[in-house]
Amino acid sequence: MLIAGDDLTLIQDTKDKLQQAFKIKDLGPLKFFLGMEFSRSKEGIIMNQRKYAMELISDMGISGAKPASTPLDLNQKLTIKEYDDISGVFGDDELTDKESYQKLIGKLLYLTLTRPDICYGVQTLSQFMQRPKKSHMEAGLRIVRYIKNQPGLGILLSNRKSEHMQAYCDADWGACPNTRKSVTGFLVKHGDSLISWKSKKQSTVSRSSAESEYRSMATTVSEIVWITGLFKELGQKIVLPVHLFCDSKAALQIATNPKDTTRGQNT
């Protein structure tokens, strides 16, 4: 159990009340919780999953393997098709041991709690849980080899007080070769601290890059609304409006002109 607050007296009173009702042991300042490690510095609190990552590398038997520089190969197109219409080449065989692949993806999903850099690769591989192929397993092991580069990489929760929030979003138009759906990616920062991030395939097919970018903005705005509501309940002031950054001029024009119902041209 974690007890957090800005009043040390109230925290101690809470511990005393719990001690009266239950047999508990006070472990002191937070250092390790559910596979996540916490360390303090002059800049703030650093949250990572180094021990969890090292155990994953060991379990996959690649402790001596060469680290990868990127989570996924840029030119590799992962698909569920038996036959590639574009290249005219038959796909690779399905895995006989599907559970090993499913366990690997489950462990990588938990690692995304402190590793935003692998979110895109993990969400891509999680689409093949029912019928994984050898290429999918190889791509999953590549992500583990990428983690081997910096197993202690994590999130810095800055101690600098801030009332400003900003968000960044982007979309990869038609990125999924199986469904031709686009992929949304966003992150939200509170001051210098990264507090929310996601990489997710969109629910519908976008007919232009402007449309996919606009959908990405809409998803990010929904997240911002939820976070600002949570901060309000916690009594934390947030300066409005929240700045949302997007690199699509067409999507920005649609967002700033509600009367414009066009989907925009390919950009």
pLDDT digits (tens, 9 = 90+) for 165-207: 999 999 988 877 778 889 999 999 998 899 999 999 988 898 8
- Is 251:210 a contact under the CB 8 Å cutoff? yes
In this predicted structure, what is the pLDDT of residue 82? Answer: 58
In this predicted structure, what is the pLDDT of residue 257? Answer: 78
What Rg, from alpha-carbon coordinates, does the chain have? 22
Residue 7 CB contacts under 8 Å (≥ 6 apart), including other chains: none
In this predicted structure, what is the pLDDT of residue 90? Answer: 47
Separation of alpha carbons 96 and 143, rounded Å: 21
Render pLDDT for 8-33 as a digit per residue (tens, 0 to 9). 899 889 988 998 888 888 888 888 88
Q: Backbone dihedral region of 100: left (phi > 0), alpha (psi from -120 to 50 degrees) or beta? A: alpha
Separation of alpha carbons 142 and 223, rounded Å: 30
Q: To the nearest 10°, report the CA torsion of 134, 136, 141, 147.
A: 170
Residue 143 CB contacts under 8 Å (≥ 6 apart), including other chains: 68, 71, 72, 108, 118, 121, 122, 125
Could you say which residues of the chain have pLDDT below 70? 81-91, 258-267
In this predicted structure, what is the pLDDT of residue 7? Answer: 84
In this predicted structure, what is the pLDDT of residue 53? Answer: 93
The ranges assigned to domains in the chain are 48-149, 160-256
Task: Please state which CATH class domain 160-256 belongs to.
Answer: alpha beta
Separation of alpha carbons 11 and 6, rounded Å: 8
